[in-house]
Amino acid sequence: MALPIDFTTLRTPCYVFDEAELRRNFADFRRALAAHWSPCSNVAYSVKTNPLPWVLEVAREEGCYAEVVSNEEYARALACGFPPEQIVFNGPIKGREWLFYALEAGSYVNLDSQRELTWTCEYAATGKRARVGLRANILLEKHCPGETLSDDRHGRFGFSYEGGELARALEVLRAAENVEVRGLHMHVTTLSRSQKVYRTLADFAAEIIRSYGLELDWFDIGGGFYGGGPANEGAYDEYVRTIREAIGDACDPARTELLVEPGGAVVCTPGYYAGRVIDVKDIVDEHYVVTELSRINIDHEMKKTSYVHEMLTDATESLPRQIICGYTCMDSDRLFTAVDEPALSPGDMVVIRYAGAYSLSFTPQFFIEYPPAVYSVADGVATLRREPWDEQPPKS
């Protein structure tokens, strides 16, 4: 696939986002929801996945909501133009005053901790209506072995359905005046992102709805999807069809709003990470290529060993093996090994594809270098969205 711009014209290192593809991903997921659930549905973009204000503004312009998991993310969503009634407030670390604000302002609020139960009851005791959802915890690994991040442990979020905590949370809220449980949140992070996972989550949601006689205004299946870009065409449709089939008649798609919380599934494929080669050298039998890039800016867990990438060079000779390294002083800062690829020289460029998700939000403030610049590209024209920081030596 062709690159969206001539990267050699940009100040590097940098992230670059293809605006057209980002907008297509948002629009396509919303289209799939309307086609296979009902128009009563929406994408709530996961702010933590990439909190760049420009990305949030594109999501808002495309008709999406914002999904946030902290006071800070809620404040950023407001600053980027999302009205409170288009913000989904999740996570167990909501502040008391922000929770009260969200309830007052009409946000989608999914409770995820014991203190939030207490605070919601306190809020309602003042005579104000509290319309909330509950996050359910199920033993997903038991039903989808090998597909979750929890292995043989329990996931730590939400209220346990199998352990009875969800029933007790419902009992507390139903005993309080002015509290209405109108939502159900089912998010679980998975390794596989498989259809089986979402079928299982929706199956349990149906069981929970029937068991407790819930009448839902919203059903939030969470995120963790794959998709986006030409290579994954139809992926969003498959997920929504699976969810719709599994939920059956437990809720009415015409009146219960289905919310999905994609992050990487919409923002990953439009993103690129680009930098120039600084130096090359041989140490015994290895050939090292030092770049402006760093593994810490693209692989925060230091687990990846390969990336879809492009080499921008005029080289006509190839090398059997080049170790592509980052700028830091850590020996582990090795991005990947290039096998039988063009021999890189200082000034050449390496462009890593599919770098839009988490790269910006997980980049630590590692003081050897400041965070890279960020560009968006539309119709072949680059716009600087985040200024690069640059230290200059003192004048003598």
364: confidence class by pLDDT, cuts 50, 70, 90: low
Is the same domain home to 348 and 312?
Answer: yes
Assigned domain for 393 exists: no
- CATH number of the CATH domain containing 360: 2.40.37.10
What pLDDT does residue 38 have?
Answer: 98
How far is 129 from 103, CA to CA, in rounded Å?
8
Is the same domain home to 43 and 175?
Answer: yes
Is the same domain home to 89 and 238?
Answer: yes
Number of domains in the chain: 2
More confident residue, 189 or 59: 59
Is the same domain home to 303 and 260?
Answer: no
Candidates 7, 100, 58, 5; CA nearest to 312 is: 7
Q: Is the pLDDT of residue 21 over 90?
A: yes
150: confidence class by pLDDT, cuts 50, 70, 90: low
Assigned domain for 2 exists: no
Assigned domain for 373 exists: yes
Q: Is the pLDDT of residue 205 over 80?
A: yes
Question: Which residues form the domain of 189?
Answer: 19-267
Assigned domain for 1 exists: no
- Chosen domain end from 207, 235, 267: 267
Is the same domain home to 286 and 262?
Answer: no
273: confidence class by pLDDT, cuts 50, 70, 90: very high
For the record, the structure tokens of 293 come out as 């890039």
What pLDDT does residue 144 have?
Answer: 66
What residues form DSSP beta bridges with 148? 190
216: confidence class by pLDDT, cuts 50, 70, 90: very high
Q: Is the pLDDT of residue 259 over 70?
A: yes
Is the same domain home to 165 and 37?
Answer: yes
How far is 77 from 90, CA to CA, in rounded Å?
13
What pLDDT does residue 145 have?
Answer: 76
Give DSSP secondary structure letters for 60-79. HHTT-EEEE-SHHHHHHHHH
Give DSSP secondary structure letters for 154-186. PP-SSEETTTTHHHHHHHHHHHSTTEEEEEEE-
Q: Is the pLDDT of residue 153 over 70?
A: no
Phi, psi at residue 136, to the nearest 5°?
-90, 140
Is the same domain home to 224 and 180?
Answer: yes
How far is 353 from 274, CA to CA, in rounded Å?
9
Question: Which range (40-44, 191-195, 232-236, 260-264) has the least confidence?
Answer: 191-195
- CATH number of the CATH domain containing 149: 3.20.20.10
pLDDT in tens, 155-190: 889 999 999 999 999 999 999 999 999 999 999 878
Residue 167, classed as helix, strand or coil, is: helix
Is the same domain home to 79 and 183?
Answer: yes
What pLDDT does residue 140 have?
Answer: 77
Q: Is the pLDDT of residue 147 over 90?
A: no
User: Roughly how many angstroms between the first and final C-alpha of the chain, as a whole number?
Assistant: 48
Query: Positive or negative, the Cα torsion across 168, 170, 174, 177?
Result: positive
Q: Is the pLDDT of residue 25 over 60?
A: yes
What pLDDT does residue 183 have?
Answer: 98
What residues form DSSP beta bridges with 67? 46, 88
Q: Is the pLDDT of residue 359 over 90?
A: no
Is the same domain home to 43 and 139?
Answer: yes
2: confidence class by pLDDT, cuts 50, 70, 90: confident
Is the same domain home to 106 and 204?
Answer: yes
More confident residue, 121 or 390: 121
Q: Are 116 and 93 in contact (CB under 8 A)?
A: no
Q: Is the pLDDT of residue 340 over 70?
A: yes
- Chosen domain end from 245, 267, 289: 267
What pLDDT does residue 204 have?
Answer: 95
For the chain, what percent of residues have pLDDT higher than 90? 81
Assigned domain for 166 exists: yes
How far is 183 from 106, CA to CA, in rounded Å?
13
What pLDDT does residue 365 have?
Answer: 56
Is the same domain home to 142 and 99?
Answer: yes
When pLDDT is averaged across residues 109-131 and rounded to a whole number, the result is 98
The structure's pTM equals 0.93
Is the same domain home to 242 and 111?
Answer: yes
How far is 361 from 357, CA to CA, in rounded Å?
8
How far is 310 from 323, CA to CA, in rounded Å?
15
Phi, psi at residue 365, to the nearest 5°?
-85, 65
- Chosen domain end from 267, 287, 310: 267
Q: Is the pLDDT of residue 131 over 80?
A: yes
Q: Are 371 and 296 in contact (CB under 8 A)?
A: no
